[in-house]
Structures are given as structure tokens and as C-alpha cells.
Amino acid sequence: MVVGAPARYLVFFQYLGTRYSGVMETSNDQSLIGVQNYLEKAMQNLKPVAPVKFHISSRTDTGVHALCNSAHLDIQRAPGKPAFDEKQLVHGLNRHLKPEPICILNAHRVASTFHARFSALSRTYIYRLLMGCSHHSEIPVFERDLCWAPRGGGLEFWELKFRSRSFLYRQVRRMVGALVAVGQGKLTPHRIKELLELKDSRAFPSNAMAPPSGLFLKSVEYSAADLDPTVAPGE
């Protein structure tokens, strides 16, 4: 029996990262596993012919959240069954992701040459600071695990935005930590200059690293042509 070519999709998804080891797949015997594990388990419940791999565009670490991450995947359906349309795929995956705090936002049928990681034009991160807390108990209950609350100043939220095609490992957390450390007098601007000139991430003070709880991947950007539904899949 002849089986057609698999259909490639780009999916955008979001998650609260507190309960996961990060977005990437891990072995299932760990105490915390990756968001990718849950995505692929949900996909298997939609009965593809072959196991489906999510190719994640942007890695996030333990405790880091995503307002919008992305991945591409190839789905081979049984002979005689048409390819999923985008709404079917979103609805089916979300049904099987419950009750995890992971949600598929939307899906696009894309060309077989598209790659979620390498086709991305840029990534945007937001880091949320709650300034003015003298004790962690002052953090509003719904904001716990969703911000960093260094001491000092009046009680207010700050959001720092970073956009680039790619980032080094923990780069945003280092930049935010350095800014806060300078503001608190723990690092001098001159010392930051020295650290940059060293070009060695190991030289960065570990106690100046911003925690993961305040970091959100906000978006992954692609060209309009890559997401153009008038382009026939496979072209």
C-alpha cells in the first residue's frame, strides 16, 4: 500500500516552565522532564503512522517560561487519511496536553524545507523584575515563580526586553543579573567591561546570575513568506 509524503507543520506553543526540566526532551525516569516529552506524547495520541519528533526552535532551561516558542514536526497519517488541517491539529494536541500548563497557540502547514530553528529571523525575550520587595512573602501570590524580586526601591514591575537572532547560553539571565548587581553596588561598570573583554562566561560571578523564574521567551519571528498559506506544501 502506497503511503504519501509526511506533512510538515510549524506550531507555536506556550508553557509555564516551573514544573519542567526545560523545553527539550529528557528521559522519562527523571523527577522533572521536558516540555517536549509532553508534546510528543500528545502527538502520539493522534495516531500518526510513525513516531513524531518536535524540532524545537529555542531552548529554555528549567524554570524558564514561554509566551510563545515554536517547533516543526512531520506527520505521516495512515493511507486514506488526509493531512490534518491546522485547526484539527491545534485542537487535537491541546485535548491531549491537559491538564499540563502547556498550550498549542496555532499551527501552519509549511514547506518540507522549513526548519523551526534555522528559519527563525529573531527571538525576543522578556525578563520581569518586581522591585521593592523586602521579603519574598511580599510577592503577590499569582506572581510567584513568574518574576525576580531583588530588594530595593518602590514596589513596581519592570520588564526588560531583548531581541536577537540567537543568544548564548544563559545570556539574558547574565545581562539582567549584571544590571541588577551594578544597581545594587555589587559590581562596577568597569568590572562589567572587564568581564566582556575576557570573553569567558566562566568568569561571570555565579551569584550575579538572574534566576530563571523571571525569564519568558516572548516570541520567535519568521518571514511572512515562510508562513504564506498560498505556497504549496513541499515547495
**Residues with catalytic function:** 61
The SS3 call for residue 44 is helix
Work out the burial of residue 3: count CB atoms within 10 Å of its CB; fewer than 13 is exposed, 13-18 middle, 19 or more buried. Answer: exposed
In this structure, are residues 15 and 103 in contact, taking their beta carbons and an 8 Å threshold?
yes
Spell 177-192 as b/e; 16+ CB within 10 A means b.
bbbbbeeeeebeeeeb
In this structure, are residues 74 and 233 in contact, taking their beta carbons and an 8 Å threshold?
no
State which H helix or E strand residue 173 sits in: helix 171-183
In this structure, are residues 226 and 119 in contact, taking their beta carbons and an 8 Å threshold?
yes
Residue 33, phi then psi, degrees to nearest 5:
-120, 175
Q: Checking DSSP bridges between strand 65-75 and strand 215-221, what pairing results, if any?
A: parallel
In this structure, are residues 123 and 163 in contact, taking their beta carbons and an 8 Å threshold?
yes
